[in-house]
Amino acid sequence: MSVLIVLAMSNLLIFCTHSNLDLVFKILVAFIICTLYSFLLMGKGKALTDSPRLNKLKKGADLLKTGGYCTVIQFVLMTIYLNKSTESIPSKILNVLYCLFIIAYVLFCGIITVAKDSKQIKLKDYILMLILWYIPIVNVFPIYKFYRIAKREYIFESDRLELENSRSENEICRTKYPVLMVHGIFFRDWQLFNYWGRVPAVLKRNGAEVFYGNQQSAQSIESSARELCTAIEDTIKKTGAEKVNIIAHSKGGLDSRYAISCLGMDKYVATLTTINTPHKGCDMVDYLLEKLPIGAVKFIEKKYNGIFAVLGDKAPDFLSGVKDLSAEKARDYDRKFPDSPDVSYRSFMSVMNGAKSAGFPLNIGYRLIKRLNGANNDGLVWEQSAKHGDYRLVSTKNKRGISHGDVIDLFRENIDGYDVREFYVEIISSLKSQGY
């Protein structure tokens, strides 16, 4: 039906060639009807979810789909019209231009709607659209990509929303102990751009009490662990709970182990779940520290510490944080940070399926680790290094894989075969079922 309406509007001048209506009036009426169709009719009866953003996204995808079908059909119709019509050449040119304008307008409305409401379109896709939108035939590719991304996002997110609505009252993540999420190196617990992406909101919606480690971005394991002790004690004071469940990513897992084993936090921690944590270190770090000139390392350290001092770190220490990730230092971690019998340990590790699974610098890290030991890795940590306690590998069957950033939803990207939000819901709900 939508295709027929647009085709009727785009061929209005041809249909009304012999009428007495003023040309300008015909164009104005067609433009108004097409505008109303784009913004109202396409949305009517389409509110399939309780998310206004998703409903608008579907409207945009439908506009792109309609515009695409109309483009193909109209090409055939215009070919017949130009060959069979006895109208003057100026009249034919005017009718063709008007037809192209209407269809282009529908596509433009779809592109703007999708660009505004999609959260999965990447910067490079926006740039390609701006560059190629004006080039006939070539512009088919970015437009189709916008449509495909929007359609996939709508289906994925509406299914996700339906799942959340169906179980929201069950509070499957309301654990006995609150959840303390501990970030890794080179980041902070900024809430405007959450390290854990969309995960905390979903956990809270399912009943979890979520708190953060609030360590500085880069310090030694010992220094970060001392800051983590404060976060653990504050969480216990705020909630009145006896203990916490720690979910830690990357170096955050090592900080947590030190706090538990060396700073007396074992009495306050029920479980430690580490995600892509280099328990045996990162041999890539050893390699880079050996190969890079000392001057270059010092330059990076100075710049990093200066930037993060401005961003909130009280005493950033880039080099100490990096050195504590080395495989050489990690050889003693099991002896220095012995597991507490009072804490339940479990670990997860994701792997990339190729260098193209992630952008810079993880794609470079993937290749380097493969070259050093041939191991599966996430662009920073190799698989064997992440094993500690009860272990589970997280992987996908597609070419994408799951990088060091994907596993915490750092890029807010929907990945085929891996629902990052559901991954953490399953971890927390499992803790609940086990009495934690």
pLDDT tens by residue, 296-349: 999 999 999 999 999 888 999 999 999 999 999 999 999 999 999 999 999 999
User: How far, in Å, CA of 117 to CA of 36, rounded?
Assistant: 20
Q: Does the pLDDT value for residue 392 go beyond 60? A: yes
Q: Does the pLDDT value for residue 26 go beyond 70? A: no
pLDDT of residue 82: 78
**Residue 277 DSSP symbol:** -
The neighbour count for residue 46, using CB atoms within 10 Å, is 13
The neighbour count for residue 355, using CB atoms within 10 Å, is 17
Rounded CA Rg of the chain: 28
Q: In the structure encoding, which two tokens stand for residue 229, read together? A: 């002790």
Least confident of 172-181, 186-195, 423-432: 186-195
pLDDT of residue 322: 95
3-state secondary structure at position 330: helix
- What does pTM read for this prediction? 0.85
pLDDT of residue 42: 53
| DSSP symbols for 158-180 | HHHHHHHHHHGGG-TT--SS-EE
**Residue 350 DSSP symbol:** E
pLDDT of residue 135: 86
User: How far, in Å, CA of 421 to CA of 167, rounded?
Assistant: 14
User: How far, in Å, CA of 223 to CA of 114, rounded?
Assistant: 46
Per-residue b or e along 239-272, where b marks 16 or more CB atoms closer than 10 Å to that residue's CB: eebebbbbbbbbbbbbbbbbbbbbeebbebbbbb
Q: Does the pLDDT value for residue 155 go beyond 70? A: yes
User: How far, in Å, CA of 352 to CA of 332, rounded?
Assistant: 28
pLDDT of residue 421: 96
When pLDDT is cut at 50, 70 and 90, the band that residue 137 belongs to is: confident
**Partners of residue 344 on adjacent β-strands:** 271
Mutual angle of helices 2-10 and 52-84, in 10-degree steps: 50
Q: What structural domains and CATH numbers belong to the chain?
A: 2-161 (no CATH), 172-433 (3.40.50.1820)
Q: Give the start-end residues of each E strand in 106-261.
A: 179-182, 210-212, 244-249
Q: Does the pLDDT value for residue 74 go beyond 90? A: no
pLDDT of residue 4: 65
**Residue 264 DSSP symbol:** S
Strands 269-275 and 210-212: unpaired
Q: Does the pLDDT value for residue 40 go beyond 60? A: no
What's the rounded mean pLDDT across residues 345-362? 93
pLDDT of residue 390: 96
- Amino acid identity for residue 90 in this structure: P
